[in-house]
């Protein structure tokens, strides 16, 4: 019976590996914050104040984020308070998280109905915390950050390069390795 139990455990874990594969994009490559900012249509810096359910979207982790805009960095000038639709975890490829109370540099675009949505230019989250590296990367793309957003420019200081943008992870093989390891240990 232990052989059967082992087979069931391995089968379930391998099935789990198939379900939680990360986003897979053909010809994807890592892009720096500066490269993503150069491609983004609208960039703002602001603080998230509230979340609201998305109308007619049955995804629990998707929401509309209300943001107080501190600075308009690129594209159209937005009002002091905006709503960002399609925030949260829509799919493994679309997941711009905007926690309440967080300050973020956010890349946006308008959808077909003119609502503001994340402009996920590289299939990554486009809500960046205002770290030195991120402010520097956005500053390289938008130019004159001191004039456009003194609050964000103060983050840079004497910093001269690099960014900490995230890459798409690949946890699938690691989970599968752990599944095989557990199955082996059950023997």
Model confidence at 67, pLDDT cuts 50, 70, 90, reads very high
Judge whether 129 and 137 are in contact, CB under 8 Å. Answer: no
- List pLDDT tens digits, range 84-135: 998 988 776 767 889 999 999 999 999 999 999 998 877 678 899 999 889 9
Judge whether 8 and 46 are in contact, CB under 8 Å. Answer: no
The pLDDT of residue 183: 52
Query: What structural domains does the chain harbor?
Result: 34-129 (2.40.50.120)
The pLDDT of residue 169: 38
The pLDDT of residue 24: 65
Instruction: Look up tokens 């609050």; give the residue.
Output: 151
The pLDDT of residue 157: 63
3-to-14, 16, 34, 145, 183 alpha-carbon distances in Å: 16, 20, 54, 64, 10
Judge whether 91 and 23 are in contact, CB under 8 Å. Answer: yes
The pLDDT of residue 70: 96
The pLDDT of residue 96: 87
- List pLDDT tens digits, range 10-32: 554 444 444 444 566 666 778 88
Instruction: Look up tokens 């390795």; give the residue.
Output: 177
**pTM of the entire structure?**
0.71
- List pLDDT tens digits, range 139-182: 999 988 888 998 888 777 655 544 444 433 334 444 445 544 55
The pLDDT of residue 28: 72
């Amino acid at each position: 019976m232990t052989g059967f139990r082992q087979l069931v455990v391995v089968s379930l874990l391998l099935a789990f590996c198939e379900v939680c594969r990360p986003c897979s994009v053909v010809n994807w490559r890592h892009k720096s914050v500066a490269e993503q900012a150069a491609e983004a249509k609208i960039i703002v810096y602001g603080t998230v104040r509230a979340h609201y359910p998305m109308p007619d979207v049955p995804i629990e982790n998707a929401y509309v984020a209300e943001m107080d805009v501190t600075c308009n960095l690129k594209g159209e000038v937005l009002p002091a308070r905006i709503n960002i639709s399609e925030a949260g975890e829509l799919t493994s490829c679309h997941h711009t998280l905007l926690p309440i109370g967080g300050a973020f540099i956010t890349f946006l675009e308008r959808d077909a109905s003119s609502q503001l949505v994340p402009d996920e230019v590289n299939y990554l989250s486009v809500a960046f915390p205002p770290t030195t590296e991120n402010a520097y990367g956005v500053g390289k793309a938008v130019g004159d950050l001191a004039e456009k957003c003194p609050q964000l420019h103060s983050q840079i200081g004497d910093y001269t390069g690099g960014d900490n943008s995230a890459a798409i992870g690949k946890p699938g093989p690691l989970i599968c390795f752990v599944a095989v390891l557990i199955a082996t240990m059950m023997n």
